[in-house]
Amino acid sequence: MHPSFTHLLIYKCKRDWVKEQLEKPIQEDKQFMFIKDTAMGVDGYYDKLPNIEAKHTFIIRNPHRVVFSARRLLMHLYEHKGDPDDFNLSGDHPFMAWEKLSPDPLFKLWNYVRENIDPNPIVIDADDLQNYPEETLRKYCEAVGIPFKKKYTTWPKSDESLKYFHGALEQMVWGKNEGVYDAAFLSSCILPLTKPLPDKVPEKCEGYAAEFREGYKIMYETRLKPTE
């Protein structure tokens, strides 16, 4: 059997197993369960979404903020030491495997959910969540029928929470070792934004940002509004 076919077969089996686990009843002492994934992670595998009663929630972020985070991560992974503006975020990056993904996977998944599962999924803008954490979480809890608790806005400043995560251990270990989660582990609450929204992005990031602008704009109009 060809190695690549073996890899795809194992990958499919893992997705089947995950779907099966998520469709099991939650523990009797639990009232609800959060399931988190990335749109890129399920792109092309919508048939593997769990068939359960759930409220889909999408967190969006302005592409002009995303490009700087993505560039910083990729520069770190590729050990780019030069001028950040010389780094081509829109170029060929094996780590990201752009060619295997749909254009704007998040917007595509949002449309799929609206057309096939729930016509009114919840959309939360990351800027709103950072600037109005309690207001946003209160409205979110109300929307999904969960009693809001003040403790949802704070947590211990440590990585102890990793012990309670159910997910890809390799991904979590990799992220921790690479410092991807440092800001989260070193925080104890949702921190407000400190940098203004950039009006434009560097030339070599423009292609990346352009791919997500239209989808972001459309989803933003449907977002949960914390101050209204």
Read off the pLDDT of residues 154-174 as tens digits, 9 standing for 90 and up. 988 887 777 766 666 677 777
* Cβ contacts of 152 within 8 Å, gap of 6 or more: 137, 141
CB distance 105 to 204 below 8 Å: no
- At 109, give phi and psi (nearest 5°): -65, -40
Where are the chain's structural domains? 3-154+189-220, 155-188
- For residues 22 and 11, give the distance between their C-alpha atoms in angstroms, rounded to a whole number: 17
Put simply, whether the predicted model's pTM sits higher than 0.75 gets the answer: yes
Digit-coded pLDDT (tens) for 92-130: 565 555 555 668 999 999 999 999 999 999 999 999 999
- For residues 8 and 77, give the distance between their C-alpha atoms in angstroms, rounded to a whole number: 25
Instruction: Show the tokens assigned to 34.
Output: 């959060």
pLDDT class of 186 with cuts at 50, 70, 90: confident
